[in-house]
Amino acid sequence: MNSTLIRGGHLLDPAAKLDAPRDLLLRAGRVAAVDAPGKLDALAAREHAETLDARSLIVAPGLVDIHVHLREPGQSHKETIATGTAAAAAGGFTSVCALPNTTPVNDSVEATRWMQSPERQALVRVFPIAAATRGSLGEAITEYVALKSAGAVAISDDGKPILHDAIMHQSLAAAARAGLPVIQHAEDTRLTQGATMNAGALAFRLGLRGMPAEAESNIVERDIRLLAALQDSRAHLHVAHLSTAKALEAVRRAKRNGLHVTCEVAPHHFALTEEAVGQYDSHARMNPPLRVQADREALIEGLLDGSVDAIATDHAPHCVHEKEQEFERTPNGVLGLETALGLSLQVLHQKHSLPLSRVIALLSAQPAQLLHLAGRGTLAVGSYADIVLFAPKTMWVYRAAESKSKSRNTPFDGWTLPGKIHRTLSEGKTVYSSGS
């Protein structure tokens, strides 16, 4: 039988409220048993299980990233589903949700199915997020029920926010009926024409046009008003890569008022500020942009107090030649899959004392629950054997040149981070091993 024993590790499974030494027996891609150290030895021997030594390692659910750009179909010079999921595996992720701003835009059942087909050679599970409107043009909503049947787990026009109130209202109502969350990239693009970084003194000094915090918070507040007016308890609004204190305050208020509003924060927004733009460093250009220290601190506070529901990377690969241009000409986005765990451990656990189990929950259990990814984000018996083994205190150096991604656009090249990943298993199969 195809079984594996993970022996001697410390299990962190926030969904099952487990934070203790445990052995795990995996069988046919699922978790078959979880028990005290040594208790599964006899059973594993009978099954001729392969044994993985997890002594001094944390055994956690494979991480779940609800915001990645895998660039296929259409932009395979930047990334493919195969290379993007290899980067995911190297970063401890076993489930990734792919945004639809591909070429063509994923607004169809066919594209949603294409992304999940075995020919894509994904190393970890890919869950498509389908476009909210045809071609993400913000005009006519797509077929949410059919897209859900084809495997879409949410709908979003990420990168092209839905500005028209009537269309956003229709989208929220139709998604509520279909049982899908609407993920909004909150940006009032009427306020951000030609802007390439955060608005403020630094943008002024660099001679760059800036994006004000209000461009984000205005849309978050508008969306919350539309959600409240809908009066449908099934409706779920999720704010993508929230970056400002002001927008976070709006989400907090909505939660207090009992609305189903959730949000995610990207590691670069809690690890860096706009100062990283320095002298026009294109690896510090993304959308939403890096903000000021007060925003960064507010996001960290939101992660600590539970107002932020998930950490999501917004992994956005671009070719070297695309990023090696004048700052204003370079595309938005940075890699994120391989540095998310390390940055989260460094900033949230080491600097701000967030318990390890809470960091893992933000990276696995909570995002999985948010998008209803059944059997993911937990290691309870019966769930998928999606597992990451890592040494939380072991420091390692991130080298962009060694990235599994096709691209190299990261502001974290050469950073020393905690949390060395030893192995990642997707449905019981090793998909990454550090080889040491």
Query: Which structure tokens are listed for 74?
Result: 């259409």
- Tell me the C-alpha distance between 252 and 415, whole Å: 33
Rg (CA), the chain: 21
Query: What would you measure as the largest C-alpha separation in the chain, in angstroms?
Result: 69
Nearer to Zn ion, 158 or 221 (CB): 158
Nearer to Zn ion, 13 or 314 (CB): 314
Q: Binding to Zn ion by residue 314, rule CB under 5 A?
A: yes
Q: How many residues bind Zn ion (CB under 5 A)?
A: 2
- Tell me the C-alpha distance between 416 and 425, whole Å: 24
Stretch that binds Zn ion, among 154-162, 244-252, 264-272, 363-371 (CB under 5 A): 154-162
Stretch that binds Zn ion, among 27-35, 153-161, 207-215, 372-380 (CB under 5 A): 153-161
**Would you give the DSSP letter of residue 420?**
E
Nearer to Zn ion, 158 or 264 (CB): 158
8 A C-beta contact, residue 389 and residue 421: yes
8 A C-beta contact, residue 65 and residue 97: yes
Pattern of binders to Zn ion over 328-357, x per CB under 5 A?
Answer: ------------------------------
8 A C-beta contact, residue 79 and residue 327: no
For the bound state, the minimum distance from the C-beta of residue 99 to Zn ion, rounded and expressed in Å, comes to 5
Q: Binding to Zn ion by residue 223, rule CB under 5 A?
A: no
Length of the chain: 436
Strand 416-426 vs strand 429-433: parallel, antiparallel, or unpaired?
Answer: antiparallel
For the bound state, the minimum distance from the C-beta of residue 311 to Zn ion, rounded and expressed in Å, comes to 14
Q: Where are the beta strands (DSSP E) in 199-349?
A: 210-211, 237-239, 261-265, 310-311
Q: Which of residues 92-131 bind Zn ion (CB under 5 A)?
A: none
Catalytic residue among 305, 314, 386, 413: 314
- Tell me the C-alpha distance between 13 and 91, whole Å: 18
Strand partners, 299: none
Nearer to Zn ion, 157 or 158 (CB): 158
Stretch that binds Zn ion, among 150-158, 197-205, 253-261, 293-301 (CB under 5 A): 150-158
Q: Binding to Zn ion by residue 158, rule CB under 5 A?
A: yes
Cβ atoms within 10 A of the Cβ of 138, count?
18
For the bound state, the minimum distance from the C-beta of residue 306 to Zn ion, rounded and expressed in Å, comes to 24
Nearer to Zn ion, 313 or 378 (CB): 313
Q: Give the Cα-Cα-Cα angle 324, 325, 329 (nearest 5 degrees).
A: 135
- DSSP-assigned letters across all residues of 332-356: S-B--TTTHHHHHIIIIIIIT---H
Stretch that binds Zn ion, among 141-149, 155-163, 292-300, 386-394 (CB under 5 A): 155-163
- Tell me the C-alpha distance between 218 and 213, whole Å: 9
Stretch that binds Zn ion, among 55-63, 253-261, 306-314, 400-408 (CB under 5 A): 306-314
Query: Which structure tokens are listed for 426?
Result: 């997707």
Give the residue nearest to Zn ion (CB).
314
Stretch that binds Zn ion, among 259-267, 310-318, 339-347, 414-422 (CB under 5 A): 310-318
- To the nearest 10 degrees (0 to 180), the angle between helices 213-230 and 165-178 is 50
386: annotated active-site residue: no
Query: Measuring CA to CA, which residue among 347, 342, 360 is closest to residue 270?
Result: 347
Query: Which structure tokens are listed for 255?
Result: 């939660």
Nearer to Zn ion, 4 or 102 (CB): 102
Nearer to Zn ion, 102 or 112 (CB): 102
Nearer to Zn ion, 216 or 314 (CB): 314
For the bound state, the minimum distance from the C-beta of residue 158 to Zn ion, rounded and expressed in Å, comes to 5
Q: Binding to Zn ion by residue 79, rule CB under 5 A?
A: no
| Cβ burial, residue 333 (10 Å; 0-12/13-18/19+) | buried
Residues of this chain that interact with Zn ion (CB under 5 A) are 158, 314
Catalytic residues: 314
